[in-house]
Chains A and B, each alone.
Chain A
Amino acid sequence: MNMISVSRLTKTYGDLTAVDDISFQVEKGEIYGFLGPNGAGKTSTINMMIGLSRPSAGEIEVAGIDVRRRTKKAQAGMGIVPDESNLYNEMDGFDNLCFCASLYGMRREEREAKARRLLTLFRLDDAGRRPFKAYSRGMRRRLTIAAALIHSPQVLFLDEPTTGIDVESSRQIRDLIVELKQQGTTIFLTTHYIEEAERICDRIAFIAGGRIVAAGSLPELMDSVSRQHAIRFITAGNSTVHAAELESRFAGSEVRAQADRTIVMTSRQRIPLFPVMEFLHNRGVEVLEARELRPSLEDVFVRLTGIDTSVPAKPGQKEADQ
């Protein structure tokens, strides 16, 4: 069953098309991630989905309710975590949660019980009586997420839930998102961390320049760009001088030197490991390590969007020992 259905959604600001004819569906209990660089149109999309901004064209349904026509009814079933933590600075954590609960028409006993439970769940018990402005960034983020869950929404929208937060807090938040999914909550999130999308999303859409460039599950996305095999050899002596020779010896392969003692060999066929090592050995170069390099989601992203992710994404390729 589709919990979110977006079709041909477009948003223009004057001459600028921030969201360009986007369509996708999210199933119940799924985590769907929008992955894209700054200015890709993630927030613009989410804002239309939650009824905070008016689409220039297109349709949105959340839990079977037309968001454009029955905004308030649709919002009743949504939990929303905006890109900035936006609770009331002068109020303490507990009061903030209770206030948010009241906006959804929850009664006092219900509000207070739920607020207490969420403070515990988010490890904010001790901070419950401290004003929001005294919270650290990670605590602010956690409380903002807690506030979005106060009315037990069916669908949770998170706009960059972990941006600007330390590793440990990010991990806690991710674990929590996965836990919510297991309880049946449908989750739509945006992120510019490839790693985050890779870890928790069931399906991912790459968004760049307001368009969905590619979408699918992780294996689908990986397959879409790469049927290549790659092995990285680290050697004791200088191996790069033999690169050209290697290439001609192993037809169909491509050899790239990374550093004096590192070469990467790619090919459409599986690369025979032993002959390569023997070949190098015969030239007096000892192989210390050989690793298969699998494309990371980052590679896929770069390949499909043409955007260099070296700035926002966390470095490091996914590697597996051969």
Chain B
Amino acid sequence: MKGWIAFWNILKKDIRNYYLKPPNISWGIIFPLSWTLMQLIRSPDGSIQDLLPGLISMSVLFGTTSMLAVTITFERSGRSFERLLLAPIGLSTMVLAKIAGTILFGMFNAFVPVILAAFLVDLHAVNWGALLLAVLLIAVTSALMGLLVAVSAEQVFEAQTLSNFFRFPMLFLCGLFIPLARLPVFLRPVSYCLPLTYGTDVLRGLITGSSTLSPALCYGMLLLSAIALFTISRHMIRRNWIL
């Protein structure tokens, strides 16, 4: 019960202090919007359905990783983060509370292109429950990657640079722009280590029906990555933040 009170209040505080701030809200809308428009301009004949999985993935990825890394690094530099480390709540509860806000924000980002697309094309065939689950899992893994960045960075600008450092290569390796089959052979194992590869594939299957991997495998891999990343972050927090 006490853990819940702490969890809920950390989440509420983050949403109020960070995610509901006008600049972030507008970023959450403008960013996915501009990606969508860019893609449409780049390939005007490409169908929106083909673009949608990539847009969702990118919106989630960009909405979560840097958000969490920046807010945590910010709280650490102002030292208010110490309060969380000194509170009598388990490290897991604290980590979950911190990533929960980002996950919600990432999912909000994800649905901007979806809602936009819903006006333009027929999305009747989409299994929304499965889509929501996929988006949730992508958001969880991306948020946890943001947490890893936060644990490694000391300053806000460092956090930003670090998030970009792995975010962009990831976009190119996850099969979004370049199909996995066309990637150089030596890069393919890397692709199969990225949760986003599975996320993108499952989204593609749900929206266009053209997945290359089995959905069960994708969900499984996403879940597995989430658990692995969670365990690693917890370990890293213990190691790096409790000196």
A84 at the binding interface (Cβ < 8 Å): yes
Interface set, chain A 84-107, CB cutoff 8 A to B: 84, 86-91, 99-100, 102-107
Return the chain B residue nearest A86 by Cβ.
Answer: B79
A53-B242, A73-B88 known; A105-B78 Cβ under 8 A = no
B60-85 to A contact mask, C-beta < 8 Å, 1/0: 00000000000000000011101111
A51 at the binding interface (Cβ < 8 Å): yes
Return the chain B residue nearest A83 by Cβ.
Answer: B79
The A-B contact count (CB < 8 A) is 70
B90 at the binding interface (Cβ < 8 Å): yes
A54-B242, A82-B82 known; A104-B2 Cβ under 8 A = yes
B79 touches A103 (CB 8 A): no
B243 touches A86 (CB 8 A): no
Please report the C-alpha to C-alpha distance between residue A78 and residue B86 in the assembled complex, in whole angstroms: 9
A51-B86, A99-B13 known; A87-B80 Cβ under 8 A = yes
A52-B86, A73-B88, A80-B86 known; A106-B79 Cβ under 8 A = no
Give the residues in chain A near B242, CB-CB below 8 Å. Answer: 51-54
Please report the C-alpha to C-alpha distance between residue A78 and residue B88 in the assembled complex, in whole angstroms: 9
Please report the C-alpha to C-alpha distance between residue A80 and residue B17 in the assembled complex, in whole angstroms: 24
Interface size class of A (residues with CB under 8 A): 20 to 34
B9 at the binding interface (Cβ < 8 Å): yes
A190 at the binding interface (Cβ < 8 Å): no
Please report the C-alpha to C-alpha distance between residue A78 and residue B1 in the assembled complex, in whole angstroms: 20
Interface set, chain B 1-15, CB cutoff 8 A to A: 1-3, 5-6, 8-10, 13
Return the chain A residue nearest B5 by Cβ.
Answer: A105
A102 touches B86 (CB 8 A): no
A105 touches B82 (CB 8 A): no
Q: Looking at the complex, which one of B1, B78, B84, B90 makes contact with A103 (CB distance below 8 Å)? A: B84
A88 touches B80 (CB 8 A): yes
A86 touches B3 (CB 8 A): no
B1-44 to A contact mask, C-beta < 8 Å, 1/0: 11101101110010001000000000000000000000000000
Q: What are 5 of the A-B contact pairs (CB < 8 Å)?
A: A75-B86, A87-B80, A105-B1, A105-B5, A107-B5
Q: A53-B243, A72-B88, A103-B83 are in contact. List 8 more A-B contacts (CB 8 A).
A: A52-B82, A53-B242, A72-B89, A75-B87, A84-B79, A88-B80, A103-B87, A103-B88
Residues of B within 8 A of A (CB): 1-3, 5-6, 8-10, 13, 17, 78-80, 82-90, 242-243
| Closest CB pairs A-B (n = 10) | A105-B2, A102-B9, A103-B87, A76-B88, A86-B79, A75-B88, A53-B243, A72-B88, A105-B5, A86-B80
